[in-house]
Amino acid sequence: MTIRQTGNLGDLIDRNADPNATAIIDASDWESPLTFTHGEIDKRANAVARALLPQGQAPGDRIAILAANSADYLVAYFGTMRAGLISVPINWKLPMETIAYILGDADVKLAFVDEARRPVCPAGLPTVVFGQGFEDFLDFGDIDIVRPASDEIAMLLYTSGSTGPPKGVPLTHRGHLWAIETRMRIYDDAGRHRFLVAAPLCHANALGVSKFALAAHASQVILPQFTAERYIEAIERFRCTWITSVPTMIALVAQESEFLARTDVSSVEVVRMGSAPATQGLFDSIRRIFPGARIIYVYGTTEVGPCNFGPHPDGLATPDLSIGYPLADVKLRLIDGDDQDAEQGEFEVLCPANMPGYLNLSDKTAEAVTADGYYRTGDIMRRDDNGFYFFVSRVDEMFVCNGQNVYPAVVEHLIETHPGIQQACVVPVADEIRGHRPVAFAVRASGAKIDVDAVKSHVIANGPAYQHPREVWFVAALPLTSINKIDRKALTERAEALASTGESATIQA
């Protein structure tokens, strides 16, 4: 199936299908959600493109979106690209100075904002405010959707900035149309599903899912942001069949055992999660909450898109925790020193969705992209005998304890195999003798009475002693970043402060 009517990433509507079918249910107003058909989304995206063209924008100008999730967020995103402009979704949860940096770095000419984010925009930047101002802005009518060159930039996403200022990642029309078409080949029944999207649309995970659902002529429910209870409520209210998330979101859902017990979530057929590591304990929890549902655990980065892995060509079942088997048109390798075909090593990838290079950062591009075009992901992977790939850890998260490499994700998985632990995060603390020592923050499973010694003993009994956490702090919940990943930076800083006391205890979340 092809969706390249114009070769424009903003043009995903299947005009051979029923235009009156539901495309988006916008639950921004929970009491009065808005429903849009595929035909209406198509017309509204055209209206954005028509309205932008007389604004004095030149081809390739950058147009920002700074808002909570909504149907009009996607309409603005698609309309911008239909006009031959570059869409720049920005994470509104970032500090104001970081948002100002991104707006300047991207040379944004106009921003779509919601009312709550209007004060964040600097004086002098033209804005269109979602709501009545957006309705007044729209210019309904036919339009010749721009047909971009194959290597033309469609959107500019920014990294989280966890290790420095956020980096702009230009992504092409051709590359991300390929990603959508690849998903449609793998999941050829997607059109019958109702998706639930609650992760931020400024992030590649949720944005990619929304585009896929629209291209497949499916319906999707959009929540303005994630909370576990509203996510569960949405499943029941809208009978969602395909729920999407990062693993932390599903872990938070699993903690709501009493709420789940009185809510009907039997409609769920597919649980898709990606963008962060998952654990066997989480897989087991999903099967208890959504019995019979298919679990899709995916891998992707902003720089190379979401489609590197899929089903095994021989029909072998994908093991739990595996991100799948390499797709035929994706080149990849595991690098361990001089070995470019290692069974475990840093993952490098080359596919049609690869970025051409970071915006305004030639030095960072040289560090991240090899001479032959592969992107160095910074992720350590391993490959099993059947060719399935498994995430091990981040290169920059690995640390040395007593001369041994410690991979936090490995230790976290081990801790979470204890039935008394719901979630764990392992970080390093400087140690004059060991170099660094592992410490852990853990969330107890509902009703569990596990103590610090039990966590330590469990890790020592089931893995090398050097990697066991020397201190353990129990918390009610792990802190999250603005894109719903565990905030390792915050926990590392917290651990350094707590470790000086030498105490292991229950602390406030």
Per-residue pLDDT reduced to its tens digit, 11-44: 999 999 999 999 999 999 999 999 999 999 999 9
Mean pLDDT, rounded, for 353-361:
96
The answer to the question of residue 480 being in a domain is: yes
Strand order in the sheet with 194-197: 34-37, 22-26, 219-222, 194-197, 242-245, 270-274, 294-298
pLDDT range class, residue 223, cuts 50, 70, 90? very high
C-alpha distance across the termini of the chain, in Å: 48
Instruction: Look at the block and give the residue holding tokens 């590359």.
Output: 175
Lowest pLDDT segment from 48-52, 74-78, 394-398: 394-398
For residues 438 and 426, is the Cβ–Cβ distance under 8 A? yes
* Residue among 267, 300, 306, 272 nearest 286 (CA): 272
**Concatenated DSSP letters of 184-250:** HHHSTTGGG-EEEE-S-TTSHHHHHHHHHHHHTT-EEEE-SS--HHHHHHHHHHHT-SEEEE-HHHH
Per-residue model confidence as pLDDT tens digits over 395-411: 888 888 877 888 888 89
How many domains is the chain built from? 1
The answer to the question of residue 26 being in a domain is: no
pLDDT attached to residue 508:
44
Q: Which domain holds residue 495?
A: 398-499
The answer to the question of residue 138 being in a domain is: no
Instruction: Look at the block and give the residue holding tokens 């917290």.
Output: 494
Cα-flanking dihedrals φ and ψ of residue 455, to 5°?
-65, -50
Strand order in the sheet with 108-113: 127-129, 108-113, 62-66, 86-89, 153-158, 168-172
Q: Give the distance, in angstroms, between the CA of residue 84 and the centroid of all CA atoms in the same chain.
A: 26
The answer to the question of residue 472 being in a domain is: yes
The answer to the question of residue 465 being in a domain is: yes
The answer to the question of residue 429 being in a domain is: yes
Sequence-distant (≥ 6) Cβ neighbours of residue 32 within 8 angstroms: none
CATH number at residue 455: 3.30.300.30
* Residue among 333, 35, 422, 42 nearest 194 (CA): 35
* Residue among 33, 54, 36 nearest 44 (CA): 36
For residues 330 and 351, is the Cβ–Cβ distance under 8 A? yes
CA distance 38 to 54: 26
The answer to the question of residue 311 being in a domain is: no
pLDDT range class, residue 503, cuts 50, 70, 90? low
pLDDT > 90: percent of the chain: 75
pLDDT attached to residue 101:
94
pLDDT range class, residue 280, cuts 50, 70, 90? confident
* Stated pTM of the model: 0.86
Mean pLDDT, rounded, for 435-439:
90
